[in-house]
Amino acid sequence: MKNIDANGHVRGESLFIDDILTKQHSLHAVVFCSDIAHANNLSLDISKAQELTGVEKVIVAKDIPGENQIGGILLDEHLLAEDEIHFQGMPLAIVVAESQFIAKQARKLIKVNYNELPIITTAKQAHIKKHYINPARSFQAGKVNEAFTKCKYVFSDETFSNGQEHLYLETQGAYAEKMENGCIKLMSSTQGPTVVQRIAARVLGVPMHKIEVDVTRLGGGFGGKEDQATPWACMVALATHMLNKPVKLVLDRHDDLKMTGKRHPYESTFKIGLDEGFKIKAFEVEFLQNSGAAADLSPAIAERTLFHATNSYFIPNVKTIVHSCKTNLPPNTAFRGFGGPQGKYVIESAIAKAATELNVPAWKIQQANLLQENDKFYYGQKAEKVEANNTWIQLDKAININQVEQEIQAFNVSNQQHKKGMAVMPICFGISFTNTPMNHARALVHIYQDGSVGISTGAVEMGQSVNTKMLQVAQQIFSINADLLKLETTNTTRVANTSPTAASATADLNGKALMKACNALVKRLKYVAAEELSVGIDTIKLINNWVYINNEKTALNWKELIFKAFWKRICLTENAHYATPIINFDKGKEKGHPFAYHVYGTALIQTTVDCLRGTYQIDRVDIVHDFGKSMNLGVDLGQVEGALAQGVGWMTMEEIAYNDDGRLLSNTLSTYKIPDVFSVAKEIRVIPLETEGNDMAILKSKAVGEPPLMYGIGVYFALANAIKAFNPDYKIKFHSPMTPEKVLMGLYEETT
């Protein structure tokens, strides 16, 4: 099935928040935020702003009728600052006016007073001062210290991976209208409609049933709207609640860049131990996560870093610890991979370090340590249906790794200005929310009396085409034409208590719930058909809009069947619930079976560096990816290519820069570079792994949203290898992104 949004997107007809036709008397809000990163004794003078013609109200913390608290995991974040400021970009007031233009004018008239406090911007500074969000988490397996003493080779080093701006095309925004009896309808660009509903109810001091959240689609989320779509929705809810008029708030790009959190930068130290056969026997890491000024999702992200700290490798003795370090930056948040990429970057750095010191290709160490069937992940889960080796072997068949390496060596011998480098990047990513209780979903299906169908689930469409996948599930079970099926908006009144669209698990969770609902309806319809045709229910089949008795087509079609069922007073609506079976995790022991399954893959990345300029290109990326049995290869290939580009951006050019005052310097699209059509790989070949798939995945089609981002990590090491080919003195720094500036310095650095 073609992506059902394709036509609407191309014709510019798809609706996003800023496309909603506002009602008469709608107001517009802008956020007044802090220009300094840390202070107390805050006082605001809003009188001049309040006086400007066209301004309805300037809302501050003390106007909030409920709790001034938007924290999810921890209750540590104010919607609007009270006495203290914790980061630049922290919302201090909401200006509501007749137009956005007037609101912006008024915003300039607000005066602030405060007492400045010292600023911390890096995880390491916070760690030294023991400035944490919450207590550290640590996972272990085996006996690490003892194992290190027996290792032939032991290496250690430090790594840094930078943050990353989500840069969803649609910025954060929401629109609120007051309904009768104090109820509020919120249209929000959020991955988590229930999160928005719950927190808005808390801020207004009303029960959740007074708030209805509706989501048509997002112009991208990438994790940036899992938690951080909430404040803006709460703000319009608050303004509507106070002013009795509809209110719209859509951040402009500059405000969005400044006010929202990003991927967490990590500073880490590792120690890796290998035996003489290059088997990794021991691995130890300390991760310092730069969480920013409040918890947001940091504790959950830190946890996933630990889960993925060993990537696709079996290591018998492992100890990892992660500190969520509290700094004066905007609270960092979910970003495709959810801490997994940061974990994988460190183990890949450790392997690259060992490879450099031992003078062997890193891929030989990687390959020697790949996870095997029935190995145990260091958090206790048995590895089943492992595809680590299979993806590697199929990649090697498609493009002989050894031969590529020899060709690159030959190229490097005969070329001076250009050098090539390659790297292999295996991935292994666990599917399920690491927080077990979040793994559930519901679907509500109405068959209307004319035979058309309306489908609601908890899934949010954000470009990943989950709506198309939902339609495919219903189409397959009902066996009717797709034009009879419609995906409704995601709405908390139709489907309640949803987990956010995240963790790549949305199609699995909502798809399985939808499947149950459709199957229940089919069962009822078969009963009607059997009665109508006077045959046994087991002989009835629904095939391509028709009722069959065994393999014989009858005169009864879908539409007639539905109409008959309606007249027989059969319920044509079904609501179903799905909760992932088997999974569990014991946070006391830090052991369990947290994931429904794992997604695997292996990529080979080839790059060329211009050794005069420090610029580079990615020549090609070959990937064997474990889709299971993909239910929509077009969509899934799009996910792999998009995620790869995003991973490459993170590793190469996307350089978040804050100065020591906590000011975001990379605050425009001219100072923050993301990959474009010129910087993606010149050639990308994605080969689906031949496999039977996994029953825990919807229709055996494995989750695909996040895992392929991590193929991009290989680019860092491919570039480092190219630099090394030019400059034998080059010492790889494990400090990403590998910008052209860093490449140039690497090309010409000398051993001191």
Name the minimum Å distance from CB 17 to ligand MOS.
18
Q: Which of 733, 739, 735, 726 is nearest to 679 (CA)?
A: 739
Taking the least distance from each CB to ligand MTE, the nearer of 350 and 697 is 697
Q: How far is CA 750 from CA 90, 473, 488, 723, 731, in A?
A: 44, 59, 61, 13, 9
Cα 322 to Cα 271: distance, rounded to the nearest angstrom: 15
Site membership for ligand HPA, residue 435 (CB under 6 A): yes
Name the minimum Å distance from CB 591 to ligand MTE.
25
Name the minimum Å distance from CB 355 to ligand MTE.
31
Q: Residue 737: is the preceding peptide bond cis (ω within 30°)?
A: yes
Selected binder of ligand HPA within 304, 420, 442, 494 (CB under 6 A): 304
Q: Which of 442, 600, 554 is nearest to 506 (CA)?
A: 442
Cα 443 to Cα 441: distance, rounded to the nearest angstrom: 7
Name the minimum Å distance from CB 705 to ligand MOS.
7
Site membership for ligand MOS, residue 597 (CB under 6 A): no
What secondary structure, in 3-state letters, does 516-584 show?
HHHHHHHHHHHHHHHHHHCCCHHHEEEECCEEEECCEEEEEEHHHHHHHHHHCCCCCEEEEEEECCCCE
Cα 593 to Cα 191: distance, rounded to the nearest angstrom: 26
Write each residue from 474 to 503 as x if it is in contact with ligand HPA (CB under 6 A), else as -, in one continuous string. ----------------------------xx
Taking the least distance from each CB to ligand MOS, the nearer of 121 and 436 is 436
Instruction: Answer yes or no: 284 catalytic.
Output: no
Taking the least distance from each CB to ligand MOS, the nearer of 301 and 487 is 301
Taking the least distance from each CB to ligand HPA, the nearer of 333 and 366 is 333
Q: For ligand HPA, which stretch binds (CB under 6 A), given 40-48, 235-243, 314-322, 429-437?
A: 429-437
Strands (E), 315-458: 317-326, 418-431, 440-447, 453-457
Q: Which of 335, 591, 565 is nearest to 453 (CA)?
A: 565
Taking the least distance from each CB to ligand HPA, the nearer of 273 and 339 is 339
Cα 265 to Cα 166: distance, rounded to the nearest angstrom: 13
Is the Cβ–Cβ distance between 217 and 462 less than 8 Å?
Answer: yes
Is the Cβ–Cβ distance between 655 and 672 less than 8 Å?
Answer: yes
Is the Cβ–Cβ distance between 457 and 442 less than 8 Å?
Answer: yes
Taking the least distance from each CB to ligand MOS, the nearer of 169 and 179 is 169
Q: Point out the catalytic residue in the list 706, 741, 749, 750.
A: 706
- List CB contacts of 192: < 8 A, sequence separation 6 or more: 225, 226, 227, 229, 230, 460, 498, 499, 500, 501, 502
Q: Residue 379: name its binding partner from ligand MTE, ligand MOS, ligand HPA, none (Cβ under 5 to 8 Å by kind).
A: none
Site membership for ligand HPA, residue 388 (CB under 6 A): no
Site membership for ligand MOS, residue 300 (CB under 6 A): no
Name the minimum Å distance from CB 445 to ligand MTE.
19
Cα 177 to Cα 187: distance, rounded to the nearest angstrom: 9
- List CB contacts of 659: < 8 A, sequence separation 6 or more: 121, 665
Chain centre to alpha carbon of residue 582: 24
Site membership for ligand MOS, residue 120 (CB under 6 A): no
Taking the least distance from each CB to ligand MOS, the nearer of 16 and 335 is 335
* Footprint (CB under 6 A) of ligand HPA, residues 311-370: 334, 338
Cα 421 to Cα 408: distance, rounded to the nearest angstrom: 7
Residue nearest to ligand MOS (CB): 223
Bridge partner list, 481: none
Q: For ligand HPA, which stretch binds (CB under 6 A), given 89-97, 432-440, 539-547, 717-725?
A: 432-440
* Footprint (CB under 6 A) of ligand HPA, residues 84-143: none
* Footprint (CB under 6 A) of ligand MOS, residues 459-518: 502-503
Taking the least distance from each CB to ligand HPA, the nearer of 355 and 438 is 438
Bridge partner list, 176: 186, 247
Q: Residue 506: name its binding partner from ligand MOS, ligand HPA, ligand MTE, none (Cβ under 5 to 8 Å by kind).
A: ligand MTE
Cα 671 to Cα 675: distance, rounded to the nearest angstrom: 13
Helical segments of 215-292, H only: 230-243, 253-259
Backbone angles phi, psi at 429, to 5 degrees: -130, 130
Name the minimum Å distance from CB 656 to ligand MTE.
18
Site membership for ligand HPA, residue 300 (CB under 6 A): yes
Q: Residue 220: name its binding partner from ligand MOS, ligand HPA, ligand MTE, none (Cβ under 5 to 8 Å by kind).
A: ligand MTE
Instruction: Quote the crossing angle between the two packed helices 740-748 and 713-726, to the nearest 10°.
Output: 30
Taking the least distance from each CB to ligand MOS, the nearer of 191 and 369 is 191
Is the Cβ–Cβ distance between 44 and 34 less than 8 Å?
Answer: no
Q: Residue 507: name its binding partner from ligand MTE, ligand MOS, ligand HPA, none (Cβ under 5 to 8 Å by kind).
A: ligand MTE
Question: Side by side, which strands form the sheet with 173-178?
Answer: 55-59, 91-97, 27-33, 247-250, 173-178, 184-188, 211-215, 490-491
Site membership for ligand HPA, residue 229 (CB under 6 A): no
Write each residue from 627 to 656 as x if it is in contact with ligand HPA (CB under 6 A), else as -, in one continuous string. ------------------------------
Q: Which of 220, 696, 666 is nearest to 463 (CA)?
A: 220
Residues near ligand MTE (CB under 6 A): 220-223, 336, 462-464, 466, 501-507, 639, 642, 703, 705-706
Site membership for ligand HPA, residue 26 (CB under 6 A): no
Name the minimum Å distance from CB 629 to ligand HPA.
24
Name the minimum Å distance from CB 75 to ligand HPA.
17
Site membership for ligand HPA, residue 38 (CB under 6 A): no
Taking the least distance from each CB to ligand HPA, the nearer of 340 and 628 is 340
Taking the least distance from each CB to ligand MTE, the nearer of 107 and 308 is 308
Taking the least distance from each CB to ligand MOS, the nearer of 163 and 746 is 163
Selected binder of ligand MOS within 88, 125, 191, 298 (CB under 6 A): 191
Cα 72 to Cα 90: distance, rounded to the nearest angstrom: 17
Name the minimum Å distance from CB 493 to ligand MTE.
22
* Footprint (CB under 6 A) of ligand MOS, residues 221-280: 223, 226
Tell me the two tokens of residue 292: 């920013």
Name the minimum Å distance from CB 431 to ligand HPA.
9
Site membership for ligand HPA, residue 198 (CB under 6 A): no
Site membership for ligand MOS, residue 703 (CB under 6 A): no
Cα 315 to Cα 4: distance, rounded to the nearest angstrom: 44
507: number of Cβ within 10 Å: 33
Selected binder of ligand MOS within 338, 392, 595, 616 (CB under 6 A): 338
Active-site residues, by number, are: 706
Q: Which residues bind ligand HPA (CB under 6 A)?
A: 226, 297, 300, 304, 334, 338, 433-435, 438, 502-503
Q: Which residues bind ligand MOS (CB under 6 A)?
A: 191, 223, 226, 334-336, 338, 502-503, 706
